[in-house]
Amino acid sequence: MNEFIPPAKPLIGDEERAAVDRVLRSGMLAQGPEVKAFEEEFSAHFNLGRACVAVNSGTSGQHLGLLSSGVKAGDEVIVPSFTFAATCNSVALTGAKPVFADIDADDFCISPAAIEAAITDKTVGIMPVHLYGHPAKMDQIMALADKHDLQVYEDAAQAHGASLGGTPVGAFGTFAMFSLYPTKNMTSGEGGMVSIADAEIERLMRLYRNQGMEKQYHNEVVGFNTRMTDIHAAIGREQLKKVDAWTKARQDNAAFLSANLEGVTTPPVAEGAVHVYHQYTVRVPEDRDGLAAALKEQFNVGSGMFYPVPNHQLKPFAGGTNDADLPETMKAAAECLSLPVHPSLSQADLERIVEGVNTLAKAGA
C-alpha cells in the first residue's frame, strides 16, 4: 500500500530548531525581544501597514481584539455560521451575541446581502472569515460597514498572504486575527497575530494581553495573561522566511488539482482575489462521506470536512437560527470536502489524489 497522504502537515526545519535553541540558551523564555521582532516582521512581510500584536492563540487574539474594540454585553456581531467555532466563541466571550448570516455559494464566505439583512440597532460589527484562504467580499463588506457605521473584524486565521484587489487581508478591518496553529499556513506552535488599525485599540490589546498593565503594577483594566513566549516567536520568525514559497506550492498544487479533477466542483477564485489555499475544498454533490471514506480506504488519501456542523447548530449557539434561514451554509456543510494541498505533496501524491477522486466520483455518479 502507498504511504498515507495526510490532509495537513506542519513543516519544521533545522532553522526553527536552532532558533528555539537560541532562545533556550538565552535564559529569557517569556515574552521579550523575539516577540517584538516577530510582530514587526509579520506586519512588514504581509504589507499590512499597521501594528501587530502577538498572543498565545488565534482565539485569544480575536477575543482581545473584540474587547479592545469596545464590543460588550448586549451588542450583536454578525458572523458566518459556516466557520470554526472560535469565530463565534470569541464574540460570545465578550458577552455580545453572534448573529448568523448565510454564506455565498461561490466563495464559501459570508454573504454581503445576508449581512445587510441581519443588521439591527444592536449590531456593532461584522466578522467575516477568509475561509480556506480565500478573501471574503471585503469591498462590499467595507462599503456596508461604512453605510451602517459598523466595525469590521477580520478572521484571517486561514489566510496569511491572501488579498483582494491588491489589498492584503488583515489591512481592511478595525483588527484582523491570523492563527499560528500548527496546521495553518505558517505556525509558531500555538499562537496568534493581530493587526490593528488604531493606536488606542492597539494599546488596549497590549494591556489585556498582560494583566491590564503597560507599566508594571499600574494596572489600568482587568486583563488576561495571553502573552506569546519568545520560544514560540522564534519559531514564527523562521516560518515567516518560508511562508511565501509554501503559499506558491499550495497554489501550484491547487492549479494541478483544478485542472485534473472530475466529478466534483473545484473551488472558484473571485476576480482580483489571491487565494492561499489553506484548504482546497471541493463540493461533492452526492455522498460526500462515502467518498471521503473510500478515498482513505482504497487510495490511502486523507481529507477533511470543514465544517460538517455549522455553528448555529452547536449546543452553545443553538435555538436562535433556523436551518432554513441559512440554505447555502447547510448545503456547504453537507457537500464540502477538503483534499490535501499542503506544500509537501509530491507529484505522485497529487496524481494519486486525482486518480482516487476521479475513480470514486465516477463510480458514484
Ligand X SMILES: *Cc1c(COP(=O)(O)O)cnc(C)c1O
Q: Give me the least distance between CB of 43 and ligand X, in Å please.
A: 18
The beta strand positions in the chain, using DSSP E, are: 51-55, 76-80, 97-101, 123-126, 151-155, 163-164, 167-168, 175-179, 192-196, 273-274, 280-283, 336-339
> Is residue 174 part of the contact set for ligand X (CB under 6 A)?
no
| 353 secondary structure, DSSP code | H
Comparing CB distances to ligand X, the nearer of 299 and 307 is: 307
Helix, strand or coil, per DSSP, at residue 145: helix
| 274 secondary structure, DSSP code | E
CA 260 to mean position of chain CA atoms? 27
Helix, strand or coil, per DSSP, at residue 141: helix
Output the nine-digit C-alpha cell for 82: 459556516
> Is residue 81 part of the contact set for ligand X (CB under 6 A)?
no
Question: Phi first, then psi: what are they for 138, rounded to 5°?
Answer: -65, -30
Q: Give me the least distance between CB of 93 and ligand X, in Å please.
A: 12
Interface size with ligand X, residues (CB under 6 A): 14
Question: Phi first, then psi: what are they for 200, rounded to 5°?
Answer: -70, -40
Binding segment for ligand X among 84-92, 163-171, 327-335, 348-356 (CB under 6 A)? 84-92
Q: Which of residues 133-172 bind ligand X (CB under 6 A)?
A: 155, 157-158
Q: Which of residues 21-80 bind ligand X (CB under 6 A)?
A: 57-59
Quick check: is 184 catalytic? Answer: yes
Q: Give me the least distance between CB of 90 and ligand X, in Å please.
A: 8
> Is residue 356 part of the contact set for ligand X (CB under 6 A)?
no
Q: Give me the least distance between CB of 113 and ligand X, in Å please.
A: 21
As a whole number of angstroms, the distance between CA 86 and CA 305 comes to: 16
Selected binder of ligand X within 35, 86, 150, 337 (CB under 6 A): 86
Q: Which of residues 281-300 bind ligand X (CB under 6 A)?
A: none
Query: Which one of 36, 184, 296, 315 is the catalytic residue?
Result: 184
> Is residue 87 part of the contact set for ligand X (CB under 6 A)?
yes
Residue nearest to ligand X (CB): 58
- From residue 110 to residue 129, the character string flagging contacts with ligand X as x (rule: CB under 6 A) and all else as - is -------------------x
Output the nine-digit C-alpha cell for 137: 467580499
As a whole number of angstroms, the distance between CA 320 and CA 304 comes to: 28
Q: Give the CA angle between residues 335, 83, 160 to the nearest 5°.
A: 110
Selected binder of ligand X within 7, 168, 173, 192 (CB under 6 A): 192
As a whole number of angstroms, the distance between CA 6 and CA 311 comes to: 26
Q: Which residues of this chain interact with ligand X, rule CB under 6 A?
A: 57-59, 83-84, 86-87, 129, 155, 157-158, 179, 181, 192
Give the residue numbers annotated as catalytic, written as ranges.
184
